[in-house]
């Protein structure tokens, strides 16, 4: 009996397609493989009937979650932030708003290159509510050029304003924790490109404190380390933010400052628990959010715990 049928269910829409007809099976492996590499047989179906059930006809439904779906984002601006970090401002190509995200989340992206697709993730470096002149929200990622790094070099060298990047929904659990006790200080610690997720948090917190009419805003301590002025990303943007908010205390540390960096940093050396203690006298009454190289975070976490900070209040992101 050479009757044959194929049933295709579109489970996202709940529709169904049935195709029936007469089939001829060709057992010749070489002919099959020539048509479709790796195929062993060819089935030729002469369609005699097509049945189609409309959308929503099926009682069951499932699909790819929105978070797994890729979306096109257009690069609307490309801005150098330091000698090695460049920001990419991204907006949707459709009429839809950007997906919501929380300060500290990262954006999984896919880059289509001649050498194949590259999938990487980059922390969003703006507040979730950041919007352009037209009032539309956008994303910003800020990428450090890594020596021989495939995706970061491609972004720096090839991606220009107007190009499309594919992205999935922002994700991550490095986010500001809800605390009932608003007297707890928030300490944002970063070095190098680790600044990106904590900058999103800083922007968000400054906005919150600006909208807090009772003046109950929490104290925020911003501690950032860079080698020197050439590698100090977002300096002016952060200075501007700090000016807007009396609740922010800022301290910048350069490890190898140049003569001309005078005035751009507050101390020379590296961020350590003793420095944090000077800026946050009540160490135990604070939440710590840190991002930077593994060694920086490990030694800082260790130092803070030795000074009595409960590890439950130390949150970090690793790149």
Ligand X SMILES: Cc1cc2nc3c(=O)[nH]c(=O)nc-3n(C[C@H](O)[C@H](O)[C@H](O)COP(=O)(O)OP(=O)(O)OC[C@H]3O[C@@H](n4cnc5c(N)ncnc54)[C@H](O)[C@@H]3O)c2cc1C
Site residues for ligand X per CB under 6 A: 106, 120-123, 142-144, 146-152, 172, 193, 196, 317, 319
- H/E stretch holding 205 reads helix 195-211
Q: Which residue number places its CB atom closest to ligand X? A: 149
Kindly tell me which of 142 and 207 has the beta carbon lying closer to ligand X.
Answer: 142
For 53, counting Cβ atoms within 10 Å of its Cβ (0-12 exposed, 13-18 middle, 19+ buried), the class is: middle
Kindly tell me which of 13 and 110 has the beta carbon lying closer to ligand X.
Answer: 110
**Shortest reach from residue 81's CB to ligand X, in Å:** 10
**Shortest reach from residue 117's CB to ligand X, in Å:** 12
From CA 296, how far away is CA 302, in angstroms rounded? 10
**Shortest reach from residue 3's CB to ligand X, in Å:** 53
From CA 262, how far away is CA 185, in angstroms rounded? 29
Kindly tell me which of 147 and 215 has the beta carbon lying closer to ligand X.
Answer: 147
For 170, counting Cβ atoms within 10 Å of its Cβ (0-12 exposed, 13-18 middle, 19+ buried), the class is: buried
Kindly tell me which of 176 and 280 has the beta carbon lying closer to ligand X.
Answer: 176
Residues with Cβ within 8 Å of 102's Cβ and at least 6 positions away in sequence, in order, are 128, 170, 172, 175, 176
**Shortest reach from residue 208's CB to ligand X, in Å:** 22
**Residues listed for the chain:** 319
**Shortest reach from residue 195's CB to ligand X, in Å:** 8
> Helix crossing, 235-244 with 195-211: angle to 10°?
20
From CA 119, how far away is CA 68, in angstroms rounded? 13
Partners of 119 in the β-ladder: 110
- The secondary structure of 221-290 as a DSSP string is EEEEEESSGGG-TTHHHHHHHHHH-TTEEEEEEESS--GGGTTS-SEES---HHHHHHH-SSGGGEEEEE
Kindly tell me which of 16 and 118 has the beta carbon lying closer to ligand X.
Answer: 118
**Shortest reach from residue 14's CB to ligand X, in Å:** 36
For 17, 28, 203, 225, 248, the CA distances from 222, given in Å and listed in that order, are 59, 70, 11, 10, 7
Kindly tell me which of 99 and 122 has the beta carbon lying closer to ligand X.
Answer: 122
Kindly tell me which of 87 and 217 has the beta carbon lying closer to ligand X.
Answer: 87
**Shortest reach from residue 48's CB to ligand X, in Å:** 52
């Amino acid at each position: 009996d050479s009757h044959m049928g194929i049933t295709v269910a579109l489970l996202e829409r709940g529709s169904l397609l049935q195709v029936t007809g007469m089939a001829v099976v060709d057992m010749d492996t070489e002919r099959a493989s020539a048509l479709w590499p790796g195929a062993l047989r060819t089935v030729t179906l002469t369609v005699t009937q097509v049945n189609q059930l409309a959308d929503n006809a099926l009682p069951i439904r499932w699909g790819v979650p929105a978070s797994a779906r890729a979306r096109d984002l257009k690069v609307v601006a490309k801005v150098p932030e330091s000698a090695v970090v460049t920001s990419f401002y991204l907006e949707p190509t459709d009429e839809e708003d950007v997906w919501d995200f929380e300060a500290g989340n990262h954006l999984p992206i896919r880059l289509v290159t001649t050498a194949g697709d590259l999938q990487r993730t980059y922390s969003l470096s703006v507040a979730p509510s950041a919007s352009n002149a037209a009032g539309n929200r956008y994303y910003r990622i800020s990428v450090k050029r890594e020596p021989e790094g495939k995706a970061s070099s491609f972004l720096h060298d090839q991606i220009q304003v107007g190009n499309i990047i594919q992205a999935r929904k922002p994700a991550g659990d490095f986010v500001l924790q809800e605390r009932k006790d608003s007297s707890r200080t928030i300490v944002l610690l970063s070095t190098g490109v680790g600044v990106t997720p904590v900058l999103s948090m800083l922007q968000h917190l400054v906005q919150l404190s600006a909208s807090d009419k009772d003046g109950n805003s929490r104290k925020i301590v911003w501690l950032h380390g860079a080698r020197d002025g050439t590698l100090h990303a977002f300096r002016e943007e952060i200075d501007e933010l700090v000016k807007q908010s009396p609740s922010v205390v800022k301290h910048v540390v350069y490890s190898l400052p140049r003569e001309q960096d005078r005035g751009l940093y507050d101390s020379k050396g590296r961020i350590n628990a003793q420095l944090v203690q000077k800026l946050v006298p009540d160490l135990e009454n604070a939440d710590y959010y840190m991002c930077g190289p593994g060694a920086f975070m490990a030694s800082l976490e260790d130092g803070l715990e030795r000074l009595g900070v409960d590890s439950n209040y130390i949150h970090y992101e690793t790149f």
